[in-house]
Structure 1
Amino acid sequence: MLTFFDGGRFSFHAAVDPGPRQGGEVFEQGGNKLWLWGEFYGLKERACARFFPALGKSEGGAVGGVEVSAAGIQKKAVADAFFRALPEQCVEEVLRALDGVFAGVLWDASARCLHLFTDRLGLQPLYFWEEGGRCAWSVQMRDFKHLDLTLREDALHCFLDLGHLVGEMSWFEGVRLLPAAVYERRVFPEGQTERRRYWHWPQPLAEAEAPSFEEAVDVCDRLLRAAVRRRLEGGGKSAILLSGGLDSRLVLAAALREGFAPDALTMGMKNGEDLRIARLVCERAGIAFEPRVLDAENWLEGRERCTVLSDGLINSLHLHQAPFVPEWVLPYERVLCGIALEATLGGYWQGSITEEGDKLQAQFGEWMKEYGNLEGDFYGGRAVSFLMDAHVRHITAVSTYLMRQFVERPLVFADRDLLEYVLSLPDSYRRDYRLYFALLRKYYANLFAGIPWAKTGLPVFHPLTPWVLRSRWPGLRTVLYRARDALADYERWVRMEPARSMLENLLYPWHSCIKIWTMRDMLSELHAAPRFARTSRAEKWMRAATAEWWLRYVSLPHESHP
């Protein structure tokens, strides 16, 4: 739903192609209004009593004589907390007490002030447009089609270069994506704006001040299990998106220790490593296994539709679940995943932004300017903070945003207590998987001993695993899996029928929207690209296809081009 504000009056436009869970909720109290989206966890055990009185049982119940779910009670409690905070001007205190994936807009009628906010990691998108005292907001970028705005040509070039957008960039002129952990106040009609971050990425402790490594392993286990428990305790049927990697297997192992037994959803090639490894894990764990097979015939199915549902934010090549949603996930109340746990626990990204500047510049090129001052307080000068924001928020989490339109998608790595504790540890604890592997060996060896890891082709405790991880030979994965990726052989499939003919016809310059907007003949560019380039052929072809699908969907007339 797009909310339009003009001179104190609100109007609403129906959401464009909404998912069943994308509506959000609107609360009202004494003329004040709150638009709230997302999911909240651990409210009873961690929220401050000042703003959150007793919440009642978490299983759900009646509010105002109407039966609501546990999630509904959580949102109602959060809304009441914000309304209590308005007279005391303590909205930021409420934000700091919350844990979850959320965004909101709060209208203070007496002060004629809009308060906009996002969760700590910005995983729930919130888009905002303002012009001449009028403004509009939505969590779906496609809702701004109602305003007939002009497409940003630089956004199109950015997407074709990187496969995603960056910073606060959106597809439309004047529409911006609010940053992570932002709290913004806008007073009307004066137009005064105040913006700040209510949270900053934690700084690592010096080893002399930090807990011992053994204590850190124990605390990480306790916090991980608590994070998983909070995300599964709401009742209803649960599943986990299980791959051949470590992160999803660790989340499953923690869930089993907490007494849960989610079904496992796995996709991949029929004889691929992901399906084989996940099947071994499920057999050992004793849980239901629900596999889906990707092949040369079906891998493109649903990609155009999922491009629309993900607002064209990511190369649809990486929307691996596209052929199977929503039917695959509809039987479940929630589907967990393990994304970004490796980046959090494993210390895969290290050093400062200054030290890794050359790497970042090579990766993002001219688009680095969209992030502004990278040495600012929010990132704390740490590469791990910036890359978590740039990669996880703008790439990895987009696929979870797609599925969250159909089912709750709890993100364990984003748990407030877990994230803040782990990133406050010395980098030496996390470097080279030291903390991660110690945690697996001490508490979760049952699901890891003897079962391969898709990243290396070896069990995680195998003596050759460290050598494979340190190897920079680009052909290693091809030798291990006879393909560039363990999940799907996109590099070969993109050159096969029916994909080849479909993509060439889609990008044919006589009717290509990309050609109209940029004068770039993508078909000729793609055919002329060197075969052994750093960016794979499948990545480039599907970036262009995704951009073409999105441009056709938004249907902006060529006459509106600046």
Structure 2
Amino acid sequence: MTILAGIISLNLQAPISDSACEAIRQAISRDPSDQPIVFNNAQAFLAKVDIGAFRQPARRVSSAGTFSMLVGEPLLTCKEAACLERDGQLEFLHNQWDRGNFDGLRTASGTFCAIHHDPGSGTAQLITDRLGLRPLYYVIHKDFLYFSSALRVLEAIQDVPKKMDVTAAMETVGFGYPFSGRTPYADIKVLQACEVVTVQRGRASSSRYFRWDLIPPSRASEEAELKETHYRFQAAVRRRLKGDKTTFAYLSGGLDSRCTVAALRAEGAQVATYNFSLPDTQDQLFGLEFARKIGAVHHEVPTEPGPNWSVVMADAWRTSVEWIKKTERPHLAWTGEGGSVGLGHVYLSPEIVESLYRGDRDGAIEIFLRQQKKGILTRILNPKIAAQFGGHLQSRLRKELDDIRYPDPVRAFHIFLNLNGPHHHLKQHFETIDQHRLEFQLPFYDSEFLEHITGIEARPCLYHEFYVKWLSFFNPAVLAVPWQAYAGHVPSPVSVPEDLPDQWTAPASRSHEQAARNNLLKVSAAMLSASDFPDPLLDKKQLKLMWWATKLRLGDYGYALRAALTYYQYWQTTNGNYEL
């Protein structure tokens, strides 16, 4: 199953409206070839769309009338279920869930979300994976629970209240995503890592079936840790590959996709690799050279910055007709997403690390926000609103870290990064999966792999030091080709040509930049002249000055205009309804 959505009545006297059911049918997929499969009874209406990536429907209805639906793949590692296929694992979990037992999820290593409903007790559970990667949005309104694995479905249901949560919108614009399971809509929440939300008689309660901050520190030697880390990564690839002989993967000039492809080749798989970088860059040339050495069939698709990378891969893959024919599961694309944060420990700079170890967590937070250029741009806000958000991100990040009780403060910060950023980075992929029709295989986000990393002492893992030592366990081709290294992190032992720009400094083409600039000026001008401009939130006078300065090339305030457009998008969706 790829997308699920539904409504559950929390009151036997409250029937589900036909209009809400029809809204789900219409919104669940934008592909006209999709025919949603519907399950309904007196208390529930559920719809699902399946692109066939995993070849099994992943739904379960018991003789007692309880039912479960699953999106993604749990990939259980416990001995009772590790050998089972996806449907068998769902049956194993469903039987536990019927008894109110969620312990089996502690060994889930995959990316998934699920719904379980017991009509007899009127109880529903919403469930997500150990990293919260597969989103599941929900809202309880009046006598109904609405839920969907795509936010756009809930946006399309007229019965679902849509009020802009200004605080969450500020966090989205200023930090990249809102904290604590919030969304830009006041009543719509999203499940967090390891979360089970139980709804009964109109009330919701939350529990966690696993805690990352309770992972015990390891006492093994570094050599043993390196060996175990490689074993777990290879096992993560093997669990997902399931014996497939042919597949396809992203391949950049960095290490994460390189290790993923090397692990696939170690399993004997033929791999078609795809590189979507600018010409004559480290990203392009290192990817090509590694593909040659590892024996992959490589494809280059020069691509300007900023597209939906899932759509770009889907478009390129559809042209590979012969590969599609011989690939066992042609809707599964492999990616190295997550390796740099999970194993490379990026974003934990020396200044942040030293501040944390001397007990200055507030100082570390300030450094992190400054280095990552995160902050609420108060200059474009209505002054009355702006006055309420001084120091907001600092206090919110402090609260998030308060909730992570790991003894090593650097590892605690690392846990925060793992449990928050990845969900945001994959949001667009899952929100548009009905269009690009690709599921991602994400071995660096394997929960068993990351659980092991979390137990290792943090300091030896910083700046890719542990990561680069780990590379010696792979095919020698991994170390034979230079890679793009983060500034301040361990560089490649193979020299990098000085005339090759990396992915962070390679400029886009002038035509691309000009087209993006023209479009930004056009859409922001329309916003500034719109009758529904959000005056209670934004300072129109300030934004007009910024627009003209950008237009006349007196300054570049594109960042401010883009921020304003994000607020305006939520303002329009909510018809100007908002709360602080």
- Which TM-score bucket, shorter chain as reference? 0.7 to 0.9
Residue 346 of structure 1: how far off its partner (Å): 2.4
Give 3-state SS (helix, strand or coil) of 1:328's partner. helix
2:190 corresponds to which of 177, 182, 187: 177
**Cα deviation per residue 1:60-103 (whole Å; 9 max; x = unaligned)?**
xxxxxxxxxxxxx51x223322332245321x112213221111
Does residue 115 of the first structure (1) align with residue 125 of the second (2)?
yes
Match of 2:298 in 1: 289
| Structure 2 unaligned regions, length at least 5 | 35-47, 51-57, 319-323, 325-329, 376-390
Match of 1:94 in 2: 104
Q: Aligned partners of 2:512, 2:533: CA distance in 1, in Å?
A: 20
Q: Aligned partners of 2:575, 2:507: CA distance in 1, in Å?
A: 37
Give 3-state SS (helix, strand or coil) of 2:61's partner. strand
Match of 1:327 in 2: 315
The answer on whether the counterparts of 1:129 and 1:136 sit within 8 Å (CA) in structure 2 is yes
Q: Aligned partners of 2:489, 2:94: CA distance in 1, in Å?
A: 54
The answer on whether the counterparts of 1:245 and 1:455 sit within 8 Å (CA) in structure 2 is no
After TM superposition, list the pairs within 5 Å mapping 1:101-180 onto structure 2. 101-144=111-154, 145-146=156-157, 147=159, 149-152=161-164, 154=166, 155-180=168-193
Match of 1:18 in 2: 29
Does residue 392 of the first structure (1) align with residue 422 of the second (2)?
yes
Under a length normalisation based on structure 1, what TM-score does the superposition of the two structures give?
A: 0.76
Does residue 499 of the first structure (1) align with residue 516 of the second (2)?
yes
Residue 176 of structure 1: how far off its partner (Å): 0.7
Against the structure 1 CA distance between its residues 204 and 485, is the aligned structure 2 distance closer, same or farther, given a 3 Å change threshold? same
1:366 corresponds to which of 392, 405, 430: 392
Q: Aligned partners of 2:406, 2:546: CA distance in 1, in Å?
A: 37
Count residues in correspondence.
Answer: 493
Against the structure 1 CA distance between its residues 483 and 36, is the aligned structure 2 distance closer, same or farther, given a 3 Å change threshold? closer
Residue 15 of structure 1: how far off its partner (Å): 5.4
Q: Aligned partners of 1:231, 1:532: CA distance in 2, in Å?
A: 52
Against the structure 1 CA distance between its residues 255 and 86, is the aligned structure 2 distance closer, same or farther, given a 3 Å change threshold? closer
Against the structure 1 CA distance between its residues 426 and 455, is the aligned structure 2 distance closer, same or farther, given a 3 Å change threshold? closer
After TM superposition, list the pairs within 5 Å mapping 1:19-418 onto structure 2. 23=49, 26-29=59-62, 30-41=64-75, 43=76, 46-49=77-80, 52=81, 55=84, 73-74=85-86, 76-90=87-101, 92-144=102-154, 145-146=156-157, 147=159, 149-152=161-164, 154=166, 155-188=168-201, 191=203, 193-202=204-213, 210-233=219-242, 235=244, 237-295=246-304, 317=306, 319-321=307-309, 324=312, 326-330=314-318, 331=324, 332-348=330-346, 350=348, 351=353, 355=361, 356-360=364-368, 362=370, 363=374, 366-367=392-393, 372-377=399-404, 382-394=412-424, 396-401=425-430, 404-405=433-434, 406-418=437-449
Give 3-state SS (helix, strand or coil) of 2:29's partner. coil
The answer on whether the counterparts of 1:103 and 1:126 sit within 8 Å (CA) in structure 2 is yes
Against the structure 1 CA distance between its residues 527 and 447, is the aligned structure 2 distance closer, same or farther, given a 3 Å change threshold? farther
Q: Aligned partners of 1:537, 1:444: CA distance in 2, in Å?
A: 47
Residue 211 of structure 1: how far off its partner (Å): 1.0
Against the structure 1 CA distance between its residues 323 and 416, is the aligned structure 2 distance closer, same or farther, given a 3 Å change threshold? closer
Mean CA deviation greater in 362-371 or 328-337: 362-371
The answer on whether the counterparts of 1:266 and 1:290 sit within 8 Å (CA) in structure 2 is yes
Q: Aligned partners of 2:171, 2:565: CA distance in 1, in Å?
A: 14
Residue 377 of structure 1: how far off its partner (Å): 4.6
1:427 corresponds to which of 458, 461, 464: 458
Against the structure 1 CA distance between its residues 361 and 443, is the aligned structure 2 distance closer, same or farther, given a 3 Å change threshold? closer
Q: Aligned partners of 1:211, 1:532: CA distance in 2, in Å?
A: 58
Give 3-state SS (helix, strand or coil) of 2:121's partner. coil
Give 3-state SS (helix, strand or coil) of 2:249's partner. strand
**Cα deviation per residue 1:364-407 (whole Å; 9 max; x = unaligned)?**
5524555645322576750001122232222x333543575411
Against the structure 1 CA distance between its residues 432 and 517, is the aligned structure 2 distance closer, same or farther, given a 3 Å change threshold? same
Matched letter for residue 67 of structure 2 = K
Residue 538 of structure 1: how far off its partner (Å): 6.3
Give 3-state SS (helix, strand or coil) of 1:221's partner. helix
Q: Aligned partners of 2:417, 2:533: CA distance in 1, in Å?
A: 29
Against the structure 1 CA distance between its residues 555 and 423, is the aligned structure 2 distance closer, same or farther, given a 3 Å change threshold? closer
Mean CA deviation greater in 439-448 or 335-344: 439-448
**Cα deviation per residue 1:472-493 (whole Å; 9 max; x = unaligned)?**
xxxxx9x975688256528x66
Under a length normalisation based on structure 2, what TM-score does the superposition of the two structures give?
A: 0.74
Q: Aligned partners of 2:215, 2:487: CA distance in 1, in Å?
A: 29
Matched letter for residue 184 of structure 1 = V
Match of 2:39 in 1: none
Match of 1:63 in 2: none
Residue 333 of structure 1: how far off its partner (Å): 2.7
Q: Aligned partners of 1:514, 1:250: CA distance in 2, in Å?
A: 48
Mean CA deviation greater in 136-145 or 226-235: 226-235
**Cα deviation per residue 1:312-367 (whole Å; 9 max; x = unaligned)?**
xxxxx4x4527735322444331111122122222335555963333356535524
Matched letter for residue 268 of structure 2 = G
Against the structure 1 CA distance between its residues 222 and 97, is the aligned structure 2 distance closer, same or farther, given a 3 Å change threshold? closer
Q: Aligned partners of 1:513, 1:224: CA distance in 2, in Å?
A: 51
Q: Aligned partners of 1:238, 1:379: CA distance in 2, in Å?
A: 39
1:489 corresponds to which of 508, 514, 517: 508
**Cα deviation per residue 1:34-67 (whole Å; 9 max; x = unaligned)?**
23211233x4xx2342xx4974xxxxxxxxxxxx
Against the structure 1 CA distance between its residues 229 and 136, is the aligned structure 2 distance closer, same or farther, given a 3 Å change threshold? same
Residue 127 of structure 1: how far off its partner (Å): 0.6
Residue 182 of structure 1: how far off its partner (Å): 0.6
Residue 134 of structure 1: how far off its partner (Å): 2.0
| RMSD, aligned α-carbons | 3.8
Match of 2:468 in 1: 437
Residue 421 of structure 1: how far off its partner (Å): 1.1
Match of 1:58 in 2: none
Residue 4 of structure 1: how far off its partner (Å): 1.8
Residue 227 of structure 1: how far off its partner (Å): 0.9
Give 3-state SS (helix, strand or coil) of 2:253's partner. coil
**Cα deviation per residue 1:114-144 (whole Å; 9 max; x = unaligned)?**
1121110000001110123322111111111
> Percent same amino acid among aligned pairs?
17
Q: Aligned partners of 2:561, 2:511: CA distance in 1, in Å?
A: 11
Against the structure 1 CA distance between its residues 449 and 225, is the aligned structure 2 distance closer, same or farther, given a 3 Å change threshold? same
